[in-house]
Amino acid sequence: MRHACAAAFAAIAVFTGWSGLAQEKPEALVCQTSPTMLVHDGFEGNELSRAWAHDRFAEVAVVLESKVVRAGKQAVAITVHPNDVFEAGQNGDKDSERDELREATPLTSRENVPYEFSFSMFFPTDFPIVPVRLVIAQWKQYCPEGVKACDDQSPVLALRYIGGELLVTQDLERKHVILFRQKSEFRGHWLDFRIRARFTPHSDGREQAWLDGKQIVNYTGVTADQEGPERGYPSPGYFFFKMGLYRNVMPQPMTVYIDEYSKREMQADEF
């Protein structure tokens, strides 16, 4: 965990080349052309950096701590309790709860632009192994507030940890696809993730993923839902990232430690 990106994000909009940081909510998304984006957060500050919005977690759920770290002196611990940021299920889905870090709006990904994400996660040895929905990282396609056509869509790309099994999934046009799955003991040691993605509703999209340096996903094809008035998604599309714990409602708390987050905008010829 090194220093947070660019002087602890004291000037996040200037650093990333974005302007118009009016609100840190995807419903009020304001985007302008940016130069190459480079973000790093090692969670080394006295408080959570401005790389993250605060609308997807209960304030007591997110703690900067120094006992379980990947590098440097600190990491962030996220603990979800019953009914944290509760959402009632829609269309037959079960009720959900979450504590997640959502990237601040100026860092939102743009359609057909390649990005690379990396971060490390640590699940304690007593982390509950239960057969319920648990999303630990996700990329969501931006749906404007109040647009029913897209307001209950699943993430276009997600990392899930369900019943002791790690999965990488896509949800496109309401079809659930598993790109990778592995059942193993993922608790008690750091997991280093690296994800490359270029989101587009066309067939030239790409997604790659590595776990602990080993490639586990290499996909080419559609990576976003179709856009336009009938589908609800704006064109071109935008995609925001979240990581933490998003699950079906259950009585047991869960804690995950996260460290060494980075995001960079890649050159077109890299990916």
Domain CATH code at residue 41:
2.60.120.200
In whole angstroms, give the CA distance from residue 8 to residue 182: 36
The parent domain of residue 86 ranges over 5-270
Q: Could you report the per-residue pLDDT of 213-270, keeping only the tens digit for each?
A: 999 999 999 999 999 988 999 999 999 999 999 999 999 999 999 999 999 999 988 8
Beta strands in the chain (DSSP E): 38-41, 52-53, 62-65, 75-80, 96-103, 109-110, 115-122, 134-141, 157-162, 165-172, 175-183, 190-198, 206-211, 214-220, 238-248, 254-265
**For 2-13, how does the pLDDT look when each residue is reduced to its tens digit (9 = 90+)?**
433 333 333 333
Q: 3-class SS at 15?
A: helix
Confidence of residue 189 (pLDDT cuts 50, 70, 90): very high
pLDDT tens digits, one per residue of 53-86 = 999 999 999 999 999 999 999 999 999 999 999 9
Coil, strand or helix at 76: strand
Q: Is the pTM of this model over 0.85?
A: yes
> Per the structure, how many domains does the chain have?
1
Measured between alpha carbons, how far is 125 from 105 in angstroms, rounded to an integer?
A: 34
What pLDDT does residue 88 have?
A: 83
Q: Measured between alpha carbons, how far is residue 112 from residues 197, 220, 222, 244, 271 in Å?
A: 9, 13, 11, 26, 11
